[in-house]
Amino acid sequence: MEDFIAGLPKCELHLHIEGTLEPELAFELAARNGLELPYGSVAELRAAYSFDSLPSFLRVYYEGMRVLRTEPDFYDLAMAYLSRAAAQNVRHAEIFFDPQAHTGRGVPFDVVIRGLRRAVMDAGARLGVRAQLIMCFLRDYQAEYAMATLLESLPYKEWIVGVGLDSDEKGNPPAKFADVYARARQEGYLLTMHCDVDQDGAIEHIRQAVEDIRVDRLDHGVNLLEDQRLVELVLERGIGLTCCPISNGHVTGSMQAEGIRKLMDLGVRVTVNSDDPAYFGGYVQENLIALQEALQLTAEELAGLERNAFEIAWLPRAVKDAYLAEVDVHLSSTEL
Ligand code: ADE
Ligand code: ZN
């Protein structure tokens, strides 16, 4: 089964590029930029990658990314991720980035996006991995700041496929960003947002995202199960969920495997993704393996998860169809 998963053509839809910062690269970038890390070794830093809630994770995540300063830093970060992704047979990745976490510390938007874009182009040409960028707003800051970031992104619109919303959800509902999302849609961006697992008001946040803001996708969103009417709405609209089992384990104490199973059985377009793999200790392949072990998924079911992902990816129909055909070839050429 592990060989089947390794060879399965994959589509990653929930991946924060800043969450792919491995301790080795953090040390390298710190040295390059003349910064001191408050850790004596890679092992010590890795040991500090430990959390039991969304806020405790976010503290470590924002502290870690301070080593990212220059265009080559962002290029190296994204290239390191895309090389790993290629090795796991990821064929397409839609990558979140958090511009405000960088512009807020004096790194220009242009520096961030040029480094990421150059890696996306090189990975496409050299590694055969397709990728596109999703710009996230930090929901624990004011909506006006998100709007200013949206306006700042407009000259780079061709390099950004959509917008997302992340960071600390407590007290920061989707409704706070209704105007920002309306403008983003007007500008041609596709829309997704985090509805993190078991946060205060989770099901009301999902309702706002689906009914009021009318997102194209939901990130996490497992609490959808609490409202049958919303399940039906999500089914009717074909909205996909980007679930992250290993991340769930760290943030909520459970991979939410049973919830994911129920969503699959209801026909919701569930996908399996890695969120912040350097911090949570698992890229997409490890997430698929963990879920397969928890639910005893069959090869057909695993292929179904990747079909869902290519289906809800923000790609032209013909491109999706080519990837879906690759999944079918892998399934039919495997005997388990
Ligand atoms: N930023 C990076 N990863 C995140 C997550 N899983 N939830 C909210 N904000 C995030
Ligand atoms: Zn996330």
Q: List pLDDT tens digits, range 35-58.
A: 999 999 999 999 998 888 999 999
287, 245 contact by CB (below 8 A): yes
DSSP 3-state of 216:
coil
From 96, 196, 274, mutation site for ligand 1 pocket: most ligand atoms within 8 A of C-beta = 196
CATH code of the domain in which 216 resides: 3.20.20.140
DSSP strand pairing (90-97 vs 160-166)? unpaired
User: 195: which strand partners?
Assistant: 220
Q: Name the domain count of the chain.
A: 1
Q: CB-based contacts of 323: which residues, under 8 Å, 6+ apart?
A: 9, 11, 91, 92, 310, 313, 315
Give backbone dihedrals phi and psi of 137, rounded to 5 degrees, phi first: -95, 145
Tokens 């491109």 belong to which residue?
Answer: 319
d(CA 326, CA 336) in angstroms, rounded, equals 18
Distance of CA 304 to the CA centre of its chain: 19
pLDDT, mean of residues 13-18: 98
Burial 289-328 (b: 16+ CB within 10 A, else e): bbbbebbebebeebbbbbbbbbbbbbbeeeebeebbebbe
- How many A from CA of 248 to the centre of ligand 1? 11
d(CA 171, CA 173) in angstroms, rounded, equals 6
**pLDDT tens digits along 183-241:** 999 999 999 999 999 999 999 999 999 999 999 999 999 999 999 999 999 999 999 99
Tokens of 87: 């090795």
- How many A from CA of 236 to the centre of ligand 1? 27
What single DSSP character describes residue 275?
A: B
- How many A from CA of 336 to the centre of ligand 2? 33
From 136, 168, 194, mutation site for ligand 1 pocket: most ligand atoms within 8 A of C-beta = 194
pTM greater than 0.85 (yes/no): yes
d(CA 25, CA 28) in angstroms, rounded, equals 5
- How many A from CA of 77 to the centre of ligand 1? 17
pLDDT, mean of residues 263-285: 98
DSSP strand pairing (269-272 vs 217-220)? unpaired
DSSP letter for each residue of 294-329: HHT--HHHHHHHHHHHHHHSSS-HHHHHHHHHHHHH
Confirm or reject: Cβ of 18 under 6 Å from ligand 1: no
**pLDDT tens digits along 91-101:** 999 999 999 99
- Give the residue from 284, 322, 320, 225 showing the smallest Cα distance to 84: 284
d(CA 78, CA 317) in angstroms, rounded, equals 26
Whole-number percent of the chain with pLDDT over 90: 97
17, 82 contact by CB (below 8 A): no
Structural domain of 262: 2-332
Confirm or reject: Cβ of 166 under 6 Å from ligand 1: yes
Distance of CA 62 to the CA centre of its chain: 16
